[in-house]
Every structure is written in C-alpha cells, then in structure tokens.
Amino acid sequence: MTAMRWEGWGDPARAISLPPQLRALLDNALGVRPTGRPAGPLDAIELPPPAFDPSGLRTIVGEPNVRTGSADRIRHTRGKSTVDILRIRAGSVEDAPDAVVLPAGHEEVLDVLRWCAQRRVAVVPFGGGTSVVGGLAPVRAGFAGVVALDLARLDRLVALDPVSRTATLQAGVRAPAAEELLAAQGFTLGHFPQSFEYASIGGFAATRSSGQYSARYGRFDELVVGLRVATPQGSVGLGRAPRSGAGPDLRQLFLGSEGTLGVITEVTARVHPAPVGYRHAWWRFASFPDGMGALRRLAQDGPLPAMVRLADEYETALTAPGIDGCLAVVAFEASPVPAVEAVLRAAGGTPLGAEPGEAWARGRFQAPYLRDALLDAGALAETVETATFWSGLPALYDAVRACLMDNLGTPPLVLCHVSHVYPTGASLYFTVVCAQSGDPVSQWRQAKQAVNAAILAAGGTISHHHGVGTDHAAGLAEEVGPLMVDALRAVKRRLDPAGILNPGILLGTTVGP
C-alpha cells in the first residue's frame, strides 16, 4: 500500500487540482483567496531526540521495529481532520510521538504496554491514521514521552469459519487487504466507509465505524462477534457465542473506546457471501422532506436496498447541476429490487438512471482528495455528522445548518445528506466550505464548539460514526452524563491504572496517578 501523504490525505499521486469553474465559485461566491501557506518538504522538519531511552522497546519488538527518525514520527502525528492537516502544514509537530513501535503480535503488544506503564510513557494505538476527530492527538503533559503503537505488522487472517460465517482478522489488516483475503474464499465484510482505502480492522472496531452499505450489512460494531484486547493489566478475550445472557455485553466496552481502555489485536466479525457486484442508481425527489419520507418508509417497512442516501437541495445543486430538487443514490446487490423501486415511486421519487449512480460510486473515495485541494486554494473545508430519531430529524437539520451559517465569520456553503438509515432514525452528514480566516484552526474550533452545542440542544448525538477523539469529548460528557463518564473512568483505572492509553481521548482528561 502506498504510504499516505504526511500533510494530506491518501496517495500523493492521486492528489487533484480544482477545476476552473469551482475556483471561480469559491472566489466569487465565498471570497476564497490563496493563503500563501503551503507546507514545506517533510525532510525540512527536524524533531528533537526522543524524550526517553527506547532501547527496552527494541528488546521487545526488534531493532528495525522501533523507529525514531523525524519522518516516521511526523507521519504518525495526529490524524487527518482539517485541523490536523492545517496544523501539520504550518509546521506544528510539537506533539509528534517520540518513537514509532511496530509489534508483531498480541504478546508483543502486551509487553510494550507493560514497559510503557512502568515508565509512564503514553501509548497511542495507530491503525490507518484516518481519525478526523482528534483521536490521535493525546495529552503529553505528565508523561515521560509518547509512543505511536503502529499495528501494521498484525496483518493476518487468523481464521475463517465458513459454517458460522465468521472471520478472525488481526487488528492491523487494512480494509482492502481484508477484502482480498476474504474474497479469495468467497466472502466479504461488506464494510466500505470513505476511509476504506487506508483504515484498519482494529480502527473500525475502536471507532464503531459505519460503511456505505450499512443498510445491508450493518455498522461495523454490529458485525463484531469477538475481540482480543491487550491492556497494561493483561489480556481480554470476549465473544464466546453469537448471543449470550451472561451479564452485560462487555464487547461494547471496547467497541468505540478509541484505544483508551486497551489495544484491540484481533477482531472476529460476521462475513457474507461476496456479491457479484453492486448496482447504483439516482432517484429524484421534489424536496428533502419528501425524500426523507421515502427513506423512512424503506427503513421501517422494507425492503431496504444495500444503500440509500439522500442529498439536500444545496448538495444536489452542487454535485448534480441541472437537477431540481433532491438527489438520492440507491445501491443494490447484483440488480435492482422491484419492490424497493415501487416504494420510491409511491413516495414521489423519479428514477434518473443507472449511469449517474455508477459514476458516483466510481468517485466515492475521491472526496478527501477534494478537501485537500480546497485547503490548497485557501478554503476551509470540514464535515459534521450526527443522528437522531425520525421525528427530530428536521429540527436537527435546521439547527446544525443555521449554526454553521452563523459561526464561521464569513459566508459558508453548507451541504447535507442523509447517509445511514434505521427503523427509528437516520444520520445527517454536513459538509461546510468557506474562506479561511487569518487563523483557520481557531476559526474551525470555535465553529465546532458552537455546532456541538447546537447538536446536543436539538437532541442529536455528538457523533454517529466519526468517533469522539478530542473534538467531541466535552459533548460526550454532556450526552451520557457525569455518572456514566465516571463509570468509564473507573473501568479505565482498572484496565489502565497508569493512564497511558491514548490520554485525553474520549474521556477528555487523563486518568491515573
């Protein structure tokens, strides 16, 4: 796999430039101007030596698997949110890890965690590095240093049970490799989020990821039937049966824990017979409420296609010029299902054909590259996602859109689509583009704080599938309440008494002595 750009997203060879018409739109409508803040070359950034002696780590994982050079450390600094990219392009690498450690298996992960706990060295589990919520930006204060625990060497398909239709994969397997390994035996996970090309299996579990075909296969946390986890206090193995009445389901402690309670080293997940392919089509609805009504009928009464997502009028106008109303993209395994099409027609939908939908699918993984091109041009581009029940969805949409319009200091373009649906509700995914201020990091952080408050006030969840990280830690505390945050902290104190695992992430404050 091609190494991800250190100052942006994805394969450097696939970076894109904005077409002239989009540049003109940014200039004329939003006042976007070049900022003159290009990133310098990677080899021009020098880091100080590690703050601790990593020789003991070399004894555990081998000399080549402890890397302390500036380039390796910078590539493991933070994730890929807009704030992360803006900061690293500005040369802000003060929170780079002191060492990058690549263990070969579960036992080596345990040994690394014990070594670090004894010396109070913070550990950041690192999969694909695709976090967009500050999930890889730990608190350094009070620690002797920071290790990025890169799980890339945990890259095997451990077992496949074709009778039970489960697969056990090591946590460092990247999603494309997982699909190749499973396809060779006729199966698929069916999990294709926008981070698919770089994200890892362990990262999917640790953040409760949701893929574009969630209507067919479910979110990743719904696929997981078993976990193996390394903690500073020892090993955890969960998932003895498909369902159990033996107390609370403790797998849920680690699904979504973002590396703060333990390091997921193996995931056992449901797999499905690989389809011959997917077919995508466009449908038009007169308005966003009309389209949401159609999606609700499918989600509640069925049948559900593999995917259904609905763009509002603003996103439709930008992505599909000439279409009046709102655009839905519908995906099927193999071929369209007449019963689904009948529901869409009855709800006022008009079919627009397969080719536009197929074109959308072909460009599915290009959006993060477009984000980087917008940053290059001087625009601020970021996303916000949330979810709520169907009855509250219109008010949540209005609240988030109004908040984004009012809190960026310059007129923004705000787009939205429904990305995942359930019998009881759906998620909303917003994209915002505006001119960068003189301090775009503060510009976005202030807007993000306001929009988090607006989401909670409107009854939405602080995150549907991006996770908590640092961006949503305060919102999580408000969403679940102080008693449950204290309960999570108590669990962390038992599993990680030194508080070394991803400190400051999820819970917002360090835990330990």
Q: What is the pLDDT of residue 172?
A: 98
Beta bridge partners of 160: 167
d(CA 28, CA 254): 48
Check if the beta carbon of residue 194 is closer than 8 Å to that of residue 404: no
DSSP track, 229-247? EEETTEEEEE-SSSS--SS
As given in the structure block, the two tokens for residue 314 are 């603003």
Task: Outline where DSSP puts E strands in 162-292.
Answer: 166-170, 187-188, 224-231, 234-238, 263-270, 272-273, 278-285
Map out the domains of the chain with their CATH numbers. 12-19+35-150 (3.30.43.10), 157-273 (3.30.465.10), 278-362 (3.30.70.3450)
Check if the beta carbon of residue 98 is closer than 8 Å to that of residue 125: no
d(CA 470, CA 44): 29
Q: Kindly give the confidence (pLDDT) of every residue in the chain, 513 residues in length, as a single tens digit, with 9 standing for 90 and above.
A: 688 999 999 999 999 999 888 999 899 999 999 887 667 789 889 899 999 999 999 999 999 999 999 999 999 999 999 999 999 999 999 999 999 999 999 999 999 999 999 999 999 999 999 999 999 999 999 999 999 999 999 999 999 999 999 999 999 999 999 999 999 999 999 999 999 999 999 999 999 999 999 999 999 999 999 999 999 999 999 999 999 999 999 999 999 999 999 999 999 999 999 999 999 999 999 999 999 999 999 999 999 999 999 999 999 999 898 999 999 999 999 888 999 999 999 999 999 999 989 998 998 899 899 999 999 999 999 999 999 999 999 999 999 999 999 999 999 999 999 999 999 999 999 999 999 999 999 999 999 999 999 999 999 999 999 999 999 999 999 999 999 999 999 999 999 999 999 999 999 865 454
As given in the structure block, the two tokens for residue 496 are 């990680």
Pairing of strands 413-421, 425-435: antiparallel
Q: Is 58 left (phi over 0), alpha (psi -120 to 50) or beta?
A: alpha
Q: What is the pTM of this model?
A: 0.95
Q: Of 384, 441, 381, 386, whose CA–CA distance to 412 is shortest?
A: 381
Strand order in the sheet with 307-311: 350-353, 278-285, 326-333, 307-311, 413-421, 425-435, 379-389
Residue type present at position 425: G
